[in-house]
Amino acid sequence: MSGRGAFAESAEHRALREAVAAFARGRGDTGPDPRSPKELWAEAGRLGYLGVNLPEEYGGGGCGITELSLVMEELGAAGNPLLMLVVSPAICGTVISRFGTPEQKRRLLPGLADGSSRMAFGITEPDAGSNSHRLTTTARRDGADWLLTGRKVFVSGVDEADATLVVGRTADARTGRLKPCLFVVPRDTPGFAHREIPMELSAPERQFELVLDDVRLPADALVGEEDAGLQQLFAGLNPERIMIAAFAAGLGRYALDKAVDYARTRQVWSSPIGAHQAVAHPLARIHVELELARLMTRKAAELYDAGDDMAAGEAANMAKYAAAEACAHAVDQAIHTLGGNGLTTEYGLASLLTLSRVARIAPVSREMILNFVSHYTLGLPKSY
C-alpha cells in the first residue's frame, strides 16, 4: 500500500496547523508568559481560531474538537498556550451548541466564537473534587426561577469571564435523589462572589473559589434538560480531556525543541553535546512518547466528532494520560539537557515544571484515569 491512509492529516488540517503556528511564532518565542494573554486571545478570535469547533450559523468555523485541538497544540508548541481554550469554546461552547436552546445559542455562541466574550466552568468542589456524584452545589425552584447555592474551587479565568457554566444538582421530587445539571451564571449576578486562590503556577490564567449564596437565576439559565444533566456534563468533559492532551503535547514539543536546539549547537570539547548518546537517546525517547500521545489525541478527537461518545471517552482519558506523562518527561529532560541554563529565565524552561503538572492533575488525576481504564476497559472490579 502506497498511501498514508488514515494516518495522514488532511490538507485542511495541515493548513490550519501551519497558519496557527505562524501566527503564534509571530508573537515571539515567549514561553508561557505570566502576563495577560488578552491581545493573543483577541487576535486569535479575529482570525477565527477560537471558534473553529462552533456552528457556522453562530459565527464559528463549523468544524469540531479535532480542529480546536490542533489550534491548542500549535499555540503550545510555539510557547504561547491559551488554557482558556479548554474552557470557553471546548467545554462551554460544546455544551451550549449541543444542548442549549435556540435563544441561548443566539445569545452566547457568537461571543465565544470570536473571543469577544468568555465563559468559565465550575465543577470542582472543596469536598468532592470533580466527583459529580458528590457535588453539593444545589439548585432549587422558587416559582419560575432557580436558587443556586454552593461553593466551587479551582475555577479558571472567572475574573475575565462574562459568565460561568456551573454544575449543580437538582432534587428529584419523585425519588429524593440529586441529579447534576448545568446553569449559566453571569458574573454580576447578586450572590455570586469569587476569590482568587494564590497559586505557584506560571500561567496567565488565574484560579478562583466561587461562593454562590442563593443566586437567583431565571428559568432559561438552565442548559439542556433537567433530567439529562449527566449526559450533558460528559459532553463537555470529553472535549476537556482532549484539549488538555493537546495542550500537553504542544507544551512537550516546545520543551523538546528547546532541548534539541541546545544539544545541536552547544559544543563541549570538539563536538556538540547532542552527538553523545547519553544526551541524544533521552531526547529521541521523548519524541517517540510525544508522537504516540499525539496519535491517541487525534483518535479521541475524531471519535468525539463522529458522535461516538463512549469510545471517545475511553480514548480521551488515555490521550490525556499519555500526553501528560510525555509532557512532564519532556520538560524534565529539556531542563536536564541544558543543565544550569535550564533553570535560567533566559531559556524559559524552569517555569514549565509547574505548568506541566497541570496536565497530570487536571481535570482528572492520572490515578483516576487508571481506575477508569481498569474498570471500563479491562473489566476489573471497582474499588470505589
Equal CATH topology for 5-118 and 230-377: no
201 pLDDT higher than 90:
no
Cell numbers for 124: 470542582
Q: List Cβ neighbours of 322 (8 Å cut-off, separation of 6 or more).
A: 245, 289, 292, 293, 296
Q: Cα-Cα-Cα-Cα dihedral of 264, 267, 272, 274, to 10°?
A: -60
- pLDDT score recorded for residue 53: 98
Considering the domain 120-224 in this protein, what is its CATH number? 2.40.110.10
Judged against a pLDDT cut of 90, whether residue 113 lies above it is answered with: yes
Digit-coded pLDDT (tens) for 44-101? 999 999 999 999 999 999 999 999 999 999 999 999 899 999 999 999 999 999 999 9
Question: Widest CA span of the chain, in angstroms?
Answer: 80
The predicted pLDDT at position 133 comes to 66
Of 27-36, 290-299, 358-367, which range is least confident? 27-36
In this structure, which long-range contacts are made by residues 139-145, counting pairs with CB atoms below 8 Å and at least 24 apart in sequence?
A: 139/168, 139/169, 139/170, 139/181, 139/183, 139/217, 139/222, 140/170, 140/171, 142/216, 144/218, 144/219, 145/216, 145/217, 145/218, 145/219
The whole-number average pLDDT for the span 115-129 is 90
Share of the chain above pLDDT 90, in %: 78
Tell me the average pLDDT across 231-260.
94
Name the residue ranges covered by the structural domains of the chain. Answer: 5-118, 120-224, 230-377
Mean pLDDT for 124-140 is: 79
What pairs with residue 142 in β-bridges? 145
pLDDT digits (tens, 9 = 90+) for 259-272: 999 999 999 888 99
35 pLDDT above the threshold of 60: no
Q: Which CATH superfamily is domain 230-377 in?
A: Butyryl-CoA Dehydrogenase, subunit A, domain 3 (1.20.140.10)
* CATH classification code of 5-118: 1.10.540.10
Report pLDDT digits (tens) over 296-324: 999 999 999 999 999 999 999 999 999 99
pLDDT band (50, 70, 90) for residue 32: low
For residue 185, the model assigns a pLDDT of: 98
Is pLDDT larger for residue 130 or for residue 171?
Answer: 171
pTM of the model: 0.93
